[in-house]
Amino acid sequence: MAVLSRDLLLALRRRSEVVNPLLFFVIVVTLFPLAISPSQAVLQTLAPGIIWVAALLSTLLSLERMFRSDFEDGSLEQLLLSPCPPTILVLAKVLAHWLVSGLPLLLIAPLLGVFLALPTEAMPTLLITLALGTPVLSMVGAIGVALTVGLRRGGALLSLLVLPLYLPVLIFAANAVAAAADGLIVTGQLYFLGGLLLLSCSLAPLAAAAALKISIH
């Protein structure tokens, strides 16, 4: 709880780091109609993919700060040496990252869905997929950040490590929203996303904690 409250307080003090990914998400989504077509039929078809690709890239943009500042000022090493298990500390930092970067995307997504002419019946599915999928993005991203935190220019390597692991979330989440827009059943896709969330919550903190120890030593 102390690590979680500390990270949230730091995020409030560095508001640009919170606002930039959100602005990136909004700008990417709003540029698509200008680049493709303002036709409602075209936007309705592409809306699930557009929103989810933008959410994925926005999350990727905010990942590197998860451990970077703590590594640079030496507090990350002190956290790992504390009596608290490293997996719990990693889980707290991932939760703080999701509250700062993932939750705002979840709140603003319905407005962007209306902008892209997404049917009303698909809105609940959009919110559910974001609620299930964005924590997975943060969890999996934490592993990549932990592996590259000791590198000076680890951003490009982070993208190469994380993006292939993001593809299942992107495919099933976008497919669920598109199916809901067509009036089809989406329970299979949602169960898959829920399974990914449980799997990432169980294994990602362990892998990220081990990766942090390797990067520091």
Sign of the alpha-carbon torsion through 196, 60, 100, 19? negative
With contact defined as beta carbons under 8 Å apart, do 169 and 137 qualify? yes
Domain that holds residue 93: 2-216
Structural domains counted in the chain: 1
Nearest to 132 by CA among 59, 190, 71, 70: 190
Over the chain, what is the mean pLDDT? 86
Report residue 98 as tokens.
């999701």
| Residue 121 pLDDT > 70 | yes
Residue 155 has a pLDDT of 66
* pLDDT tens per residue, range 30-75: 888 888 877 888 888 888 999 999 999 998 888 877 877 777 777 7
- For the stretch 151-205, pLDDT in tens is 776 667 778 888 889 999 999 999 999 999 888 999 999 999 999 999 999 999 9
pTM for the structure as a whole: 0.88
